[in-house]
Structure 1
Amino acid sequence: MVSALSKAFGQLSDPASRRVIWLTLTLSAGLLMLVWALAAWGLSAGAAGLQSWLGVEGFWAGLLEWLVGLGGFVALLFASAILFPGVAAGIISGLFIDKVCQAVEARHYPDLPPAREQPFGEAVGDGLKLLTVTVGLNLLLLPLYLIAAPLAPFVFFGVNGYLFGREYFEMIAVRRTASNQVRDLRQQNGGKVFFAGLVIALLMWIPIFNIIVPLVAAAFMLHVFEGLRRKSVGASVPSPA
């Protein structure tokens, strides 16, 4: 697992990965700015509406606007930390996961034949599934995060570790394995897949760096998958190039 993670980080220096990294940085930064701009507009409109409804003016109107802005900013920071990893992972993985896998395989697994060509719609669908599942479940768990704050980190990383492990493993594995075999291989190695997902969830929590974590996650999970797949057929994983 440590070797797989080390090779995944090493992939960032690969020339074949640089274009994807810059595209990812641009897309993620644009997405984040759009979310914050919409939130700022919504808070401003909400504060104005609240002032009108309460009929406050002058000092009290300014104080109310400041309180709404502060509360909204704190809520936005919290929501971004909880939801942005899932949004970034879903969108970026859906668009770029195949390019990342091709670069990793060319460098570390040159013996592999070409993978099944995944239609663009299928790749985007897999990304949207990851986005929907992770964001949706975290929204449902948001009250629990607030009510049971001391337990929130354990719940958050446990749930997201399972989700990221399952979804990334299946997105990677389906390129070379039939759907029913993917499920069997994942279930037979549930502990390792969950631990790999937990590593991804922890990396997603690192501010700024989490923008490119979906790329690292894809490369990392590909190494995990190849190790498990080759072990299941009695073959050894080749050494990195």
Structure 2
Amino acid sequence: MGGALFRAIGALGEPPMRRVVALSLALAVLSFAMLWLAIAALLYHTSLFEWRVMNWLVDLLGGLAVLGLTWLLFPAVVTLIMSFYLERVAAAVEATDYPERGPPRSQPLGEIVAVTLRLTMLTLLLNLLALPIYLLFPGINIFFFLALNGYLFGRGYFEVVALRRLDAGEARAVRNRFAGRIFLGGVVIAGLFALPLVNLVAPVIATAFMLHIFEALPRAPGASLWPRP
């Protein structure tokens, strides 16, 4: 898995990826700024809690509260915004590292939207529900964040790359069979999103990383889930 991550990071400077990386940076910065403004407006102009003490605490924390929530929700939002460009990342990686692969299956637009929208909504909802744990249990909150988002991002980014080659039923079967490996890959992706500056290109690295994991999955004898030429 470490080799897959290093290959994904090393590919950022290769010619097929440079334009995608530049676009990723621009979209990520724009996403972060928009999310920051939206959360700031929500916190400063809305009473989110019935307890006055909680609203007073939010006002007191000010910029820290805005930054914390922006950081927490940024991975889901930027993944949704970049969903249509992650296909380019996967195609660039395949062209460089897996040229023997044939063209991917034609994905319906509805399938792409459904996958990324489901990932986004689940990530936003579950992380907001987990906010008390993040705030009240220092130390444990780090492991909880990695476990929760490791599952979500492992599943989400696996579907991004797997559905290029498999239909939904086949992708689900492969995901269930290699759930542990995909979860560990998701934990790595969650860690990337938690790192300053790295999180701006995390969707690109995550897609390339998960594609390498997918291509390295062993097949049972006679299996035809992802036939190779």
TM-score, normalised by the number of residues in structure 2: 0.84
Give the secondary structure class of the aligned counterpart of 2:144.
Answer: helix
Query: For residues 68 and 108 of structure 1, do their structure 2 counterparts lie closer, same or farther at Cα, with a shift above 3 Å needed?
Result: closer
For 1:88-109, what per-residue CA distance to the aligned partner results, in whole angstroms no more than 9, with x for missing partners?
22322x1211111110110011
Give the secondary structure class of the aligned counterpart of 1:149.
Answer: coil
1:160 aligns with 2:146: no
The equivalent of 1:79 in structure 2 is 69
Whichever residue aligns with residue 24 of structure 1, its letter is S
Asked which structure has the greater CA Rg, the reply is: 1
RMSD of aligned Cα (Å): 2.3
Figure out how many residues of one structure are paired with residues of the other and give that number.
Answer: 214
1:202 aligns with 2:191: yes
Query: For residues 5 and 68 of structure 1, do their structure 2 counterparts lie closer, same or farther at Cα, with a shift above 3 Å needed?
Result: closer
The equivalent of 1:151 in structure 2 is 140
The answer on whether the counterparts of 1:91 and 1:131 sit within 8 Å (CA) in structure 2 is: no
Query: For residues 234 and 108 of structure 1, do their structure 2 counterparts lie closer, same or farther at Cα, with a shift above 3 Å needed?
Result: farther
Query: For residues 122 and 85 of structure 1, do their structure 2 counterparts lie closer, same or farther at Cα, with a shift above 3 Å needed?
Result: same
Q: Please state how far the C-alpha of 1:136 moved relative to its aligned partner.
A: 1.1
TM-score, normalised by the number of residues in structure 1: 0.80
The answer on whether the counterparts of 1:8 and 1:220 sit within 8 Å (CA) in structure 2 is: yes
Q: Which runs of 5+ in 2 are unaligned?
A: 48-56, 224-229
After the TM superposition, which of the residue ranges 190-199 and 139-148 deviates more from structure 2?
Answer: 139-148
The equivalent of 2:207 in structure 1 is 218
For 1:139-170, what per-residue CA distance to the aligned partner results, in whole angstroms no more than 9, with x for missing partners?
11111222223311111100101111111112
For 1:190-240, what per-residue CA distance to the aligned partner results, in whole angstroms no more than 9, with x for missing partners?
111111111101111001220110111000000100111x544589xxxxx
Give the secondary structure class of the aligned counterpart of 1:172.
Answer: helix
The equivalent of 2:171 in structure 1 is 182
CA distance in 2, matches of 1:185, 1:227: 12
CA distance in 2, matches of 1:234, 1:224: 21
The equivalent of 1:62 in structure 2 is none
Displacement over 4 Å in runs of 4+: 39-47, 67-70
The answer on whether the counterparts of 1:11 and 1:17 sit within 8 Å (CA) in structure 2 is: yes
Query: For residues 234 and 206 of structure 1, do their structure 2 counterparts lie closer, same or farther at Cα, with a shift above 3 Å needed?
Result: farther
Whichever residue aligns with residue 77 of structure 2, its letter is V
Query: For residues 171 and 72 of structure 1, do their structure 2 counterparts lie closer, same or farther at Cα, with a shift above 3 Å needed?
Result: same
Identity %: 42
1:89 aligns with 2:79: yes
Q: Which runs of 5+ in 1 are unaligned?
A: 48-66, 236-241
